[in-house]
C-alpha cells in the first residue's frame, strides 16, 4: 500500500495535480484545439494541471508519461506476471505504471531489455501501444488501408497498428495527408487519443463476447460426424472429420475476415442510421426501397439484427422485385383473384408459406392469414417468424444455426460444413456498405479447443465410409476413369478396362475408393458390378467410353450456396380440358417469377394447352395448369 501511494504521489508531481479544476478561467488550454479532450480527462481524474495552473498541451510526452496516463485512463492494476527493464528501477515514479502495462501485455520495451522511459514517444510507437491495449480491452481487430503521402516513413513493424488505429478512428492523419509517424506526441494529442480509446471501450463499434461450453471440442466433432455433414452445397458428399474440425473450430477465423461474421449476434441491433441504409443498401431495390425504418422497427420489436432481416428479404424477393413482394390480389378468404375482384392486396418479403408446388398461392395465403396488407406489415410481421424459428430459440448466430453448440447436432439449419461461412460472407458484404454500425459478436469456446489449423484440401475433404471395405467388384465400362478423388474435378490416375477386378476400400456420394492393379483411387460406383459373368452375358448396358464418370455429381470446389434438395424436374403437361386461356406456342415455360431469366421453370406446356388465368402482373399472367402454377408471358397466351 505504501508503494502504491508513493507511486500516486510521484505521478502527481510529474504529470500534474490529480484534483480537477472546477473553474475554467482563462488558462493555457482555453481555445486550444485539444481543449475538450484535455478537460474531459481532467474531469475523469486522468489529467491534471501543473503547480503553476498550466496544462502544457503542446509539451511533448515521454514514454513513461504516456504509459502512466494510459494506465490511469484504463484504471488498471497488476494482472499476472510483470516484466523488468534494465533502465526502470523500482524507486522511479513510473515503475508501477510500467509494471502494470507489462502485466496486461501492451508494454514490451526494446530487444536490448531497455524501456527508454525518458525518450519522447513517437506517433507510430503510440499507435503500437494503444493497439495492444485496445486488443486487451476486447476491441476486435480491423484495418483501414494506409493512404498517407508519407506511408514510406512508417516503419513496417507498425503498419498493422496504424491501420488498426485508423479502423477504430482513434488516430487520424495530420495536415497535408500525412501520418507523421516519427513526430513526437504532445499532451494535447495524447488526450485526444485517450478520449477516443475510452469512447470506443464505453461505446464500442465492435463488441465480442465469449461463451464457454462445458464439453470438449472433440466431443462436438464426434456428434457432428453422426449428422451426415456435407462437403458440397448439393448435399451429395459426406465431409471428412478434418473438414468438421476446421469449420467448427472458432480459432480458425480471424476477426478481420468476412468469415468472422458467422459469430455475429443476430439478436442484437446493428445501430444503423436509416438514411444511410436507404441511400446505400436499399436504393433501387423495388418495393423495399426506402423501407429502412420498417426493418429497424421490425428488428427492435423482435430482437433481430436489422441487417440480417434486410439481407434475408433482398435474397427472397430478388432485390424487391418478386411477385409476392410487389403484392398479390386476394378475396376476403385469401384466395388469389383478378385485381378488379380483390378485397385486399397481400405482401410477403421473407418467403414464408411459398411452397415449391405453388409458391405464389401459398405465400399469398400465408400473408393473408397474418394480415400483411402493406410492405411494412410484411417486413415487421415476417420478422417475428424469423425470430421465433431460430434466433430467439437460442440459435442467434450463423455458427449456432449450423453447429448448434447448445445442443450439438439438433436442430441444425444446414448440413453443408461451409454454410455458416458462406452466409457470413454475405453479411460482411452488406455491412461493408455502411459506416455507422455496431457489431456484436458471440464466439464459442470449447474445452481443449485447438488453436488455428490448416484447412484440408483435395481428397482430404471427403469422408471414407469403410463399411464395404474388402468387397470385390468389377468395372462395367471400358476406359473407366480412375481418379484421385470422388468427383470429376479430380485428376485421372489411369483408365481401367471393362472387367477389371477391384477391391473396395470405402465409398462416398455414389463413388467408391478402390485398389486396382496396385493403385488406390476413386471410380463412379455406377460402373461397378458384383458379378463378372454378367459382363460376358451382355446383360450390362455400359458405354464403350466413360466421359463424365457420373451425371449426378456436384463440384466440391463450388462454395456458392445451393439447395440441398433435388433440383425440380421440368414436366410437360398434357392438353387441359378447362381453362380461360390457351397456350399459342409449343413448349412454353411456366416460370416461378415473371422474368425471362434467373428463375425456375416450373413446367412446360404444349401448344393449345388450356390454362386458368388467376391474375395479371405487368406483361405476365399468373396461371394454373395441371396442379402447378406460375407465370407465362402475355405473348404466349390467347386469353378469352
Q: Are the C-beta atoms of 450 and 245 separated by less than 8 Å? A: yes
Q: Which of 386, 421, 437 is the last residue of a domain?
A: 386
Query: Domain check: are 76 and 197 in the same one?
Result: yes
Query: Domain check: are 362 and 416 in the same one?
Result: no
Q: In three state form, how does the secondary structure of 383-427 look?
A: HHHHHHHCHHHCCCCHHHHHHCCCCCCCCCCCCECCHHHHHHHHH
Query: Domain check: are 215 and 167 in the same one?
Result: no
Sheet containing 588-591: give its strands across. Answer: 572-573, 601-605, 588-591, 628-633, 620-625, 610-617, 581-583, 637-639
Q: Is residue 321 a part of any domain in this protein?
A: yes
For 503, list phi and psi in degrees, rounded to 5.
-115, 125
What is residue 273's DSSP assignment? -
**What is the residue range of 424's domain?**
205-265+397-458
Tell me what the mean pLDDT of segment 535-543 comes to. Answer: 52
Q: Is residue 613 a part of any domain in this protein?
A: yes
* Nearest residue to 408 (alpha-carbon basis) of 229, 210, 236, 208: 229
* Nearest residue to 611 (alpha-carbon basis) of 563, 569, 579: 579
Express each pLDDT in 477-494 by its tens digit: 989 999 999 999 999 999
Q: Is residue 566 a part of any domain in this protein?
A: no
* Nearest residue to 495 (alpha-carbon basis) of 546, 435, 450: 546
Query: Domain check: are 248 and 314 in the same one?
Result: no
Q: Is residue 532 a part of any domain in this protein?
A: yes
- pLDDT tops 80 at residue 470: yes
pLDDT value for 541: 45
Express each pLDDT in 257-311 by its tens digit: 999 999 999 998 888 889 989 999 999 999 999 999 999 999 999 999 999 999 9
Express each pLDDT in 151-180 by its tens digit: 999 999 999 999 999 988 899 999 889 999
Total structural domains within the chain: 5
Least-confidence region, from 72-76, 200-204, 322-326, 595-599: 595-599
Confidence of residue 620 (pLDDT cuts 50, 70, 90): confident
Express each pLDDT in 415-467 by its tens digit: 899 999 998 998 998 898 887 788 889 999 999 999 999 999 999 999 999 99
Q: What is the mean pLDDT of the chain?
A: 86
Q: Which three cell numbers stand for residue 96?
A: 508501477
Query: Domain check: are 197 and 213 in the same one?
Result: no
pLDDT value for 468: 94
Q: Which long-range contacts (CB under 8 A, 24 or more apart) does 597-603 make?
A: 598/318, 599/318, 600/568, 601/570, 602/568, 602/628, 602/629, 602/630, 603/570, 603/571, 603/572, 603/573, 603/628, 603/630
Please, which residues have CB within 8 angstroms of residue 75's CB and are 6 or more apart in sequence?
A: none
N- to C-terminal Cα distance for the chain?
97
Please, which residues have CB within 8 angstroms of residue 539's CB and are 6 or more apart in sequence?
A: none
Query: Domain check: are 246 and 293 in the same one?
Result: no
d(CA 441, CA 268) in angstroms, rounded, equals 9
- Going by their DSSP bridges, the two strands 610-617 and 472-475 should be labelled as unpaired
Look at phi and psi of residue 397 and say left if phi exceeds 0, alpha if psi is from -120 to 50, else beta. beta
d(CA 275, CA 280) in angstroms, rounded, equals 9
Q: Which of 458, 473, 501 is the last residue of a domain?
A: 458
For 501, list phi and psi in degrees, rounded to 5.
-80, 130
Express each pLDDT in 77-104 by its tens digit: 998 889 999 999 999 999 999 999 999 9
Query: Domain check: are 429 and 334 in the same one?
Result: no
- pLDDT tops 70 at residue 576: no
Tell me what the mean pLDDT of segment 30-45 comes to. Answer: 93
Query: Domain check: are 309 and 380 in the same one?
Result: yes
Express each pLDDT in 185-221 by its tens digit: 999 999 999 999 999 888 767 888 899 999 999 999 9
Query: Domain check: are 194 and 233 in the same one?
Result: no
472: β partners? 503
- Going by their DSSP bridges, the two strands 328-330 and 344-346 should be labelled as antiparallel
d(CA 102, CA 117) in angstroms, rounded, equals 14
Q: How many CB atoms lie within 10 A of CB 46?
A: 24
pLDDT value for 94: 94
**Percent of the chain topping pLDDT 90:** 60
pLDDT value for 562: 36
* Nearest residue to 206 (alpha-carbon basis) of 159, 252, 270: 270
pLDDT value for 245: 98
Q: Tell me the chain's radius of gyration from C-alpha atoms.
A: 33
Express each pLDDT in 342-399 by its tens digit: 999 999 999 888 876 678 889 999 999 999 999 999 999 999 988 988 788 889 999 9
pLDDT value for 570: 29
Q: Which three cell numbers stand for residue 185?
A: 506526441
Confidence of residue 15 (pLDDT cuts 50, 70, 90): very low
Query: Domain check: are 91 and 63 in the same one?
Result: yes
Q: Which three cell numbers stand for residue 372?
A: 400483411
Look at phi and psi of residue 448 and say left if phi exceeds 0, alpha if psi is from -120 to 50, else beta. left
Q: Which of 367, 386, 405 is the last residue of a domain?
A: 386
**Percent of the chain topping pLDDT 70:** 88
d(CA 438, CA 41) in angstroms, rounded, equals 25
Amino acid at each position: 500500500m505504501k508503494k502504491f501511494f508513493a507511486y500516486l504521489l510521484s505521478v502527481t508531481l510529474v504529470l500534474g495535480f490529480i484534483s480537477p479544476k472546477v473553474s475554467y478561467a482563462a488558462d493555457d488550454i482555453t481555445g486550444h484545439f485539444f481543449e475538450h479532450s484535455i478537460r474531459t480527462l481532467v474531469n475523469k481524474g486522468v489529467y491534471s494541471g501543473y503547480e503553476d495552473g498550466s496544462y502544457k498541451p503542446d509539451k511533448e510526452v515521454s514514454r513513461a508519461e504516456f504509459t502512466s496516463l494510459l494506465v490511469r485512463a484504463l484504471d488498471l492494476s497488476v494482472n499476472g506476471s510483470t516484466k523488468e527493464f534494465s533502465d526502470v528501477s523500482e524507486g522511479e515514479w513510473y515503475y508501477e505504471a510500467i509494471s502494470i502495462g507489462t502485466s496486461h501485455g501492451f508494454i514490451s520495451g526494446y530487444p536490448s531489455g531497455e524501456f527508454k522511459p525518458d525518450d519522447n514517444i513517437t506517433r507510430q510507437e503510440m499507435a503500437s501501444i494503444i493497439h495492444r491495449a485496445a486488443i486487451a480491452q476486447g476491441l476486435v481487430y480491423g484495418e483501414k488501408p494506409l493512404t498517407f503521402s508519407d506511408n514510406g516513413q512508417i516503419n513496417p513493424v507498425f503498419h498493422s497498428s496504424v491501420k488498426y488505429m485508423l479502423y477504430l478512428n482513434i488516430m487520424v492523419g495530420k495536415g497535408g495527408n500525412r501520418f507523421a509517424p516519427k513526430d513526437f506526441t504532445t499532451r494535447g494529442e495524447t488526450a485526444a487519443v485517450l478520449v477516443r480509446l475510452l469512447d470506443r471501450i464505453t461505446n464500442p463499434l465492435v463488441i465480442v463476447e465469449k461463451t464457454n461450453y462445458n464439453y470438449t471440442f472433440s466431443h462436438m466433432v464426434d456428434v457432428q460426424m453422426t449428422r451426415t455433414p456435407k462437403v458440397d452445397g448439393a448435399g451429395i458428399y459426406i465431409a471428412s472429420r478434418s473438414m468438421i474440425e476446421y469449420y467448427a473450430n472458432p480459432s480458425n477465423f480471424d476477426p478481420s475476415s468476412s468469415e468472422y461474421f458467422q459469430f455475429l449476434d443476430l439478436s442484437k441491433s446493428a445501430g444503423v442510421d436509416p438514411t444511410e441504409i436507404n441511400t446505400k443498401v436499399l436504393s433501387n431495390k423495388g418495393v423495399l426501397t426506402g423501407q429502412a425504418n420498417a426493418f429497424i422497427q421490425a428488428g427492435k420489436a423482435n430482437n433481430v439484427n436489422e441487417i440480417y432481416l434486410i439481407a434475408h428479404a433482398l435474397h427472397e424477393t430478388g432485390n424487391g422485385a418478386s411477385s409476392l413482394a410487389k403484392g398479390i390480389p386476394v378475396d376476403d378468404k385469401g384466395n388469389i383473384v383478378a385485381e378488379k375482384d380483390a378485397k385486399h392486396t397481400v405482401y410477403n418479403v421473407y418467403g414464408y408459406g411459398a411452397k415449391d408446388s405453388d409458391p405464389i398461392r401459398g405465400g399469398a395465403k400465408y400473408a393473408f392469414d397474418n394480415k400483411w396488407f402493406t410492405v411494412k406489415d410484411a417486413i415487421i410481421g415476417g420478422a417475428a417468424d424469423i425470430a421465433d424459428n431460430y434466433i430467439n430459440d437460442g440459435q442467434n448466430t450463423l455458427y449456432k444455426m449450423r453447429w448448434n453448440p447448445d445442443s450439438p447436432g439438433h436442430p441444425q439449419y444446414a448440413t453443408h460444413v461451409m454454410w455458416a461461412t458462406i452466409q457470413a460472407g454475405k453479411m460482411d458484404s452488406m455491412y461493408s456498405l455502411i459506416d455507422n454500425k455496431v457489431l456484436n459478436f458471440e464466439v464459442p469456446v470449447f474445452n481443449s479447443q485447438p488453436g488455428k489449423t490448416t484447412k484440408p484440401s483435395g481428397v482430404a475433404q471427403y469422408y471414407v465410409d469403410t463399411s464395404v471395405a474388402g468387397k470385390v467388384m468389377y468395372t462395367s465400362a471400358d476406359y473407366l476413369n480412375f481418379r484421385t478423388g470422388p468427383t470429376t474435378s479430380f485428376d485421372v490416375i489411369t483408365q481401367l478396362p471393362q472387367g477389371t477386378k477391384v477391391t473396395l476400400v470405402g465409398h462416398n456420394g455414389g463413388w467408391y475408393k478402390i485398389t486396382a492393379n496396385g493403385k488406390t483411387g476413386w471410380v463412379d460406383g455406377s460402373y461397378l458390378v458384383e458379378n463378372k459373368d454378367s459382363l460376358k452375358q451382355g446383360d450390362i448396358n455400359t458405354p464403350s467410353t466413360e466421359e463424365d464418370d457420373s451425371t449426378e455429381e456436384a463440384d466440391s470446389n463450388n462454395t456458392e450456396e445451393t439447395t440441398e434438395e433435388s433440383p425440380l424436374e421440368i414436366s410437360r403437361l398434357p392438353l387441359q380440358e378447362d381453362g380461360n386461356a390457351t397456350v399459342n406456342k409449343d413448349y412454353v415455360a411456366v416460370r416461378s417469377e415473371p422474368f425471362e431469366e434467373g428463375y425456375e421453370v416450373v413446367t412446360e406446356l404444349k401448344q393449345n394447352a388450356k390454362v386458368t388465368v388467376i391474375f395479371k402482373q405487368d406483361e405476365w399472367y399468373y396461371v394454373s395448369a395441371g396442379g402447378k402454377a406460375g407465370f407465362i408471358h402475355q405473348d404466349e397466351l390467347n386469353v378469352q
